[in-house]
């Protein structure tokens, strides 16, 4: 039984190269629950909490993208600058768990666990984030869509560490909204991220907690692009809004579980999408 607490990314990569079976722990908010609930018994652990490179964030020189370290705690994503450049991410970060959880949890953890209810994931999906993976032998940059394989399954190889994600800085309204049965500290039973890209006259919609993994509503996006001039704020007609909601609902693949029902989730995610579209077009 070993616990490695490397202080640099290269040490962390060396540790995992040596023992690809080791369990990686970032903030602990998922893994420790599994251990406490007697569902997982790790033998070797590599803790990334002291790898400061993973807690950095930066803006590309040309200002076109922002790169966020996989270990940056959610609490720090409420930072004014991040909130200005990627408001949907800051909004999603604010809804994660409690202040204590936001001090520990991070995008790396959300991606590593890959739960469809992970609050940051719809934002990464809507913004077509690139996930940066590193191993001792190389680096891979893959689209978040390829990274999220299924329910709690992802494309990380055993010897890889999720290092960061890169998001485009887009001109246009973006937002995140979530439904839970409590007014704070609640797991989402439906969530939605909507981002307008004025420059490219595009719109992106991603849904959380209504399918095995995050759902990107590409059909609805394409349809809406044909209906609205996305280069400016529009008046969205009631009929258009309704059809938009119906199309989003069709793309959702929710299930019944102890948290909610499939019917409600479909309704809720469609309602959230309509509200976000309305907000996006409120001058």
Partner 1 sequence: MKNTVSTNTVSINTVSTSTVSTDTITGTRREVRRDILGAPALRPDGADKVQGKFAFSSDIWAEHMLWGATLRSPHPYARIVSIDLSAAFDIDGVEAIITAVDVPGKKTYGLISSDQPVFASDFVRYVGEPVACVAADHPETCRRALAAINVIYEVLTPLTDPERALLPETPKIHPDGNMLRYQKIICGDQTIQGEIIVENTYELGMQDQAFLGLEAAMAFPDSGGAGVDLVIATQWIHEDQKQIAACLDLPVDKVRVTLGGVGGAFGAREDISLQVHCCLLALKTSRPIKMQYSREESFYGHVHRHPAKIWIRHHATNEGIIQRIESKMVFDGGAYASTSAAVLINGITHIQGPYKCESATVHGFAVRTNNPPCGAMRGFGVVQACFAHESQMDKLAVACGLSPVEIRLRNAMRTGDKLITGQVIESVAPVERCIRETDAIPMPVPLARDANPLELVGGSGLTSLPQNIVRGVGWGVSIKNLMYSEKFDDYATARCQLHDGIVNLKFATAEVGQGFVVLAPQIARSVLGVDEVILDPVDTRIGSAGSTSASRQTWMSGGAVDGACRLVREQLFEHVGKIHNIDPLRLVIEDTDIVDMIGDFRISVIDASTGAHFDQTFEHHHRPTEELDENGQGNCHVAFAFVAHRAVVDVDVELGLVKVIQIATAQDVGRVLNPIAAIGQVEGGIAQGLGLAVMEEIVLDNGKIRNPSFTDYLLPTTLDMPDVIAVLIEEPEPQAPLGAKGIGEPPCISVTPAIAAAIRNATGRDLPRVPIRPQDICL
Partner 2 sequence: MTPNTEVYQLNVNGKKCEVRDAWIGESLLYVLRERLGLPGAKGACEQGECGSCTVIMDDQAVCSCLVMAATAIDTEISTVEGLSVDGKLTDVQDAFVNEGAVQCGFCTPGLVVAVHNLLDTSPTPTDIEIKEAISGNICRCTGYGRIFEAVRSAAATRQETNK
Q: Which residues bind partner 1 (CB under 8 A)?
A: 36-38, 91, 94-95, 175-188, 191, 257-261, 263-264, 267-268, 271-272, 275, 279
Query: What gap in Å lies between CA 132 and CA 184, rounded to an integer?
Result: 31
CB of residue 2 to partner 2, shortest distance in Å: 5
- The option from partner 1, partner 2, none interacting with 181 (CB < 5 to 8 A, set by class) reads partner 1
CB of residue 176 to partner 1, shortest distance in Å: 7
Q: Which two tokens stand for residue 62?
A: 């040309």
Q: Go through 149-173 and write b for each residue having 16 or more CB atoms within 10 A of its CB, e for each that does not.
A: eeeeebbbeebbbbbbbbbbebebb
Compare residues 218 and 242 and give the one whose CB is closer to partner 1: 242
Q: Among the candidate windows 5-13, 139-147, 193-201, 270-278, which touches partner 2 by CB under 8 A?
A: 5-13
Contact with partner 2 (CB under 8 A): which of 7, 10, 141, 237?
A: 7
Determine if 4 is a binding residue for partner 2 (CB under 8 A): yes
Quick one: 267 exposed, middle or buried, by C-beta within 10 A (0-12, 13-18, 19+)?
Answer: middle
CB of residue 264 to partner 1, shortest distance in Å: 4
**Parallel, antiparallel or unpaired: strands 44-47 and 57-59:** unpaired
Contact with partner 2 (CB under 8 A): which of 185, 219, 222, 263?
A: 185
- The DSSP code for 276 is H
- The option from partner 1, partner 2, none interacting with 176 (CB < 5 to 8 A, set by class) reads partner 1
- Tell me how far CA of residue 264 lies from CA of 95, 110, 131, 181, 189, in angstroms: 20, 24, 32, 12, 9
Q: Which two tokens stand for residue 3?
A: 């616990």
Determine if 112 is a binding residue for partner 2 (CB under 8 A): no
Q: Among the candidate windows 97-105, 119-127, 147-155, 235-243, which touches partner 2 by CB under 8 A?
A: 97-105
């Amino acid at each position: 039984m070993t616990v490695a607490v490397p202080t640099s990314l290269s040490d962390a990569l060396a540790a995992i190269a040596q023992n690809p079976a080791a369990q990686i722990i970032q903030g602990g908010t998922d893994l420790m629950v599994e251990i406490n609930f007697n569902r997982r018994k790790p033998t070797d652990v590599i803790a990334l909490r002291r790898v400061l490179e993973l807690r950095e964030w930066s803006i590309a020189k040309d200002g076109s993208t922002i790169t966020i370290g996989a270990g940056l705690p959610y609490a720090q994503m409420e930072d004014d600058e991040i909130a200005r450049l990627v408001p949907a991410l800051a909004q999603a970060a604010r809804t994660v768990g409690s202040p204590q959880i936001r001090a520990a949890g991070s995008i790396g953890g959300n991606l590593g666990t890959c739960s469809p209810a992970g609050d940051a994931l719809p934002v990464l999906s809507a913004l077509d984030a690139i996930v940066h993976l590193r191993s001792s032998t190389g680096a891979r940059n893959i689209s978040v869509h390829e990274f999220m394989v299924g329910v709690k399954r992802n494309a990380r190889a055993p010897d890889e560490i999720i290092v960061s994600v890169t998001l485009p800085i887009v001109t246009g309204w973006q937002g995140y909204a979530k439904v839970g049965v409590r007014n704070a500290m609640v797991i989402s039973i439906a969530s939605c991220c909507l981002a307008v890209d004025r420059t490219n006259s595009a719109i992106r919609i991603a849904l959380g907690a209504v399918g095995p993994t995050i759902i990107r509503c590409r059909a609805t996006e394409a349809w809406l692009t044909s209906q609205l001039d996305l280069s400016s704020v529009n008046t969205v007609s009631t009929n258009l809004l309704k059809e938009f909601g119906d199309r989003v609902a069709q793309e959702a693949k929710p299930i019944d579980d102890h948290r909610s029902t499939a019917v409600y989730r479909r309704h809720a995610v469609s309602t959230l999408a309509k509200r976000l579209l309305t907000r996006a077009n409120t001058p």
